[in-house]
């Protein structure tokens, strides 16, 4: 099932999710560094990373929701997509709560804020796995006819086009043999 919202031939949602995941995971790592060395700069930076991660997560959610709408009803993919999406909304809410607790003293976060970030990361691992299940196992967002020798997405040719049906490719392959 192909993604409904693409940019230059590729689904937008997977392009965007790397930012919130990276930002939120890095904020958690910075929190751990803060707990080890008590340098407030790490905690303050974690606060700003969380803020950027929340914005990125909300943007990625819009495109994920649009793709989810295109999944046929009464399929395993639709159910997993729903759990994946709702789980990620909860991840963002958990990090919003952590951010709100930190806002008055980002340089010295309360334990509750740190625990929420840890829980948010744990849930993000589960929802990320579900996203992988959607793409890798169920083929959601994968171009119809995709194969190991598909033409470049910018070529304007369909993924199902075989390199063997392209006379130029056949000639080039014969030269390399």
Write down the pLDDT at residue 173: 47
| pLDDT tens, position by position, 84-122 | 999 999 999 999 999 999 999 999 999 999 999 999 999
Q: Per-residue DSSP letters for 5-35?
A: SEETTEEHHHHHHHHHHHHHHHHHHHHHHHH
Write down the pLDDT at residue 13: 87
| pLDDT tens, position by position, 63-84 | 999 999 999 999 999 999 999 9
- pTM beyond 0.75, yes or no: yes
Could you state, in order of their start, the residue ranges of all structural domains in the chain? 6-142, 144-177
C-alpha dist (Å) from residue 156 to 9, 117, 151: 9, 43, 9
Name the more confident of 146 and 130: 130
Query: Is 80 exceeded by the pLDDT of residue 3?
Result: no
CA angle 57, 58, 61 (to 5 degrees): 85
| pLDDT tens, position by position, 10-45 | 778 888 999 999 999 999 999 999 999 999 999 999
48, 31 Cβ separation under 8 angstroms: no
47, 20 Cβ separation under 8 angstroms: no
135, 17 Cβ separation under 8 angstroms: no
């Amino acid at each position: 099932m192909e993604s409904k919202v693409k940019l230059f031939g590729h689904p937008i949602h997977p392009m965007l999710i790397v930012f919130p995941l990276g930002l939120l995971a890095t904020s958690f790592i910075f929190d751990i560094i803060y707990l080890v060395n008590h340098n407030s700069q790490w905690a303050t930076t974690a606060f700003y990373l969380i803020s950027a991660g929340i914005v990125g997560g909300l943007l990625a959610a819009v495109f994920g929701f649009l793709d989810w709408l295109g999944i046929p009803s009464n399929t395993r993919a639709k159910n997993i997509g729903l759990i994946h999406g709702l789980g990620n909304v909860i991840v963002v809410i958990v990090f919003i709560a952590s951010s709100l607790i930190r806002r008055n003293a980002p340089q010295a976060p309360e334990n509750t804020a740190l625990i929420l970030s840890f829980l948010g990361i744990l849930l993000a691992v589960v929802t990320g796995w579900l996203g992988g299940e959607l793409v890798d196992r169920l083929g959601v967002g994968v171009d119809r006819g995709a194969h190991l020798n598909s033409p470049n997405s910018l070529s304007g040719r369909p993924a199902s086009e075989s390199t063997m049906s392209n006379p130029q490719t056949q000639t080039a392959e014969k030269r390399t043999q």
